[in-house]
Each structure stands twice: as C-alpha cells, then as structure tokens.
Amino acid sequence: MKPPIYHRMFDYNRNLLPNQYLAELEDGVTTIEEAKQRSGLTIGYPGWGVIYHILLSHLDRDREEILIETGTNQGCTTIILAQALIDSGCKGKVITVELDEKNADIAEKNFHRAGVSDRIDLRIGNSHDILPGITNEIDSVRFAFLDASHIYSDVLFEFETIYPVLKNDALLIFDNTYEISDPGEDMYVHGALKKIKQKYSVDLINLEKVSWFTPGLAVLQKNSSFDS
C-alpha cells in the first residue's frame, strides 16, 4: 500500500464554509489528528466547497430532489448536502446511511446544531442491506455521494444498486480515488471506478488535490447532454 498523502486544507477562510456550525468545528484546527477529533473522517475543505457548489449548479429548483449518501460518519458532509438543498430553494431531503451507531449518534447531534436536521433522513446499518430498500422507495435520483466502504467490491455494489434509478443527468461523487494499492492488493475506489468506466456509459473526472488519506474526489455523470 502506498504511503499516506493528505490534501485537506486548514489554512483557509472559515467564512467560505456554507454552514456556520462547520466553521465552528474547524475553528483552530491545524492538523489531521485535530480534525478527526472535531469532525471525524470527513473530506474537509476544499472538498466541502466542491460538493456544495456542484449541487448549487445542478439541483433542479422545479422538482423535489432526493440526495443519497453512504458513509455518514459524523455527518459533516451530510450537513453540506442539506445546506445546498436549503440554499438552492429545493424541496427534498438527504437520505444518508451509516453503519456505526456511535457515529450515527454524533451525526444526529451535529445535524441539530447545524440547523439542518429536518432535511436529513439517517438510516443506520450496512449499505448492502439498506441501499436496495432506498432505491425501491424512490422513482429516480439526480445526485449521490458514495463514501462508505472503500473496498473494490463494496464500491461496485453501491454503484450498481443505485445505477437503475439514476436520471440521465445524474451526478455521483466518490471520495478516496487515489490509486493506493500495490500489485496483488484490493483495488479500492480507484479500481472500482476504472471498472465502472469500462462497463457503463459514464463521464468521469478526477479531482486529485482534495480530501486526505486516501485523497481524491471523482465526479461521475451518467450521460452528458453533449452525447450524441
């Protein structure tokens, strides 16, 4: 396995964050270890800004938008998703899935303190068990953030479970896209995205200087409006 690389930023203007509670959590934080204590295993800045502004540019104000997230952790990126719904003027909610009950408890408190709890539906359990039920509940989805298990087979499972309900213009964001594995090891998110790119008609960009270990965000679009 390749050595750790960190691209989460700490020397930035906290006023750039779209939610004041996140700014409070980040106040005085200067290291990864401090960040983990305050906000858990989240992508941090500038990843929060990337997701927030992509959503503001993508959400359809004329429909009710359902955003799906796997891997809630302590809820900081979930807050970003909910804040984007609020600031865009969209109806709808975030459905988020978290395996660890302790993380889920922390996340619930964070949602309340951030003032976004009424826009979030937190489901506790394994995404293998819960995600199929979510896709059966909804007609379609235009955005998902898949950030639970980063094991190759788990990433493929989540993508292939949600793929049938994706609208043609849907966006999916994946965290931890850096090629971390050595030969013979699990291929993780990087390998899963290579497989997805080969098998499905999707457009994919990789933002390498985002997040921490493992760094990288990938933005996938099911079909581009420029496709013939």
Domain of residue 120: give its range: 14-221
Q: Is residue 228 part of a domain?
A: no
User: What are the residues facing 203 on neighbouring strands?
Assistant: 221
Give yes or no for residue 8 having a pLDDT over 70: yes
User: What is the average pLDDT across 187-199?
Assistant: 96
Q: What type of residue sits at position 18?
A: P
From the list 71, 69, 70, 66, the residue with the least C-alpha distance to 85 is 66
Evaluate whether residue 5 is within a structural domain: no
163 secondary structure, DSSP code: G
> Tens digits of per-residue pLDDT, 82-115?
999 999 999 999 999 999 999 999 999 999 999 9
Q: Is the pLDDT of residue 188 over 50?
A: yes
Is 70 a domain residue? Answer: yes
Domain assignment present for 153: yes
pLDDT tops 50 at residue 190: yes
Report how far residue 147's alpha carbon sits from residue 4's, in angstroms, rounded to the nearest whole number: 18
Measured distance CA(126)–CA(19) in Å, rounded: 28
With beta carbons less than 8 A apart as the criterion, state whether 182 and 220 touch: no
Report if residue 8 sits inside a domain: no
Question: How far, in Å, CA of 145 to CA of 82, rounded?
Answer: 12
Q: Is residue 3 part of a domain?
A: no
Instruction: Kindly state whether residue 171 falls inside one of the protein's structural domains.
Output: yes
Confidence of residue 201 (pLDDT cuts 50, 70, 90): confident
pLDDT for residue 227: 61
Tell me what pLDDT residue 9 has: 97
CATH of the domain at 20: 3.40.50.150
Residue 228: pLDDT band by 50, 70, 90 thresholds? Answer: very low
Cα–Cα distance, 47 to 35 (Å, whole number)? 14
Q: pLDDT band for position 224 (50/70/90)? A: confident
Q: Looking at the 3D structure of the chain, how many domains does it have?
A: 1
Asked whether the CA dihedral 32, 37, 42, 47 is positive or negative, the reply is negative
Residue 155 lies in a domain: yes
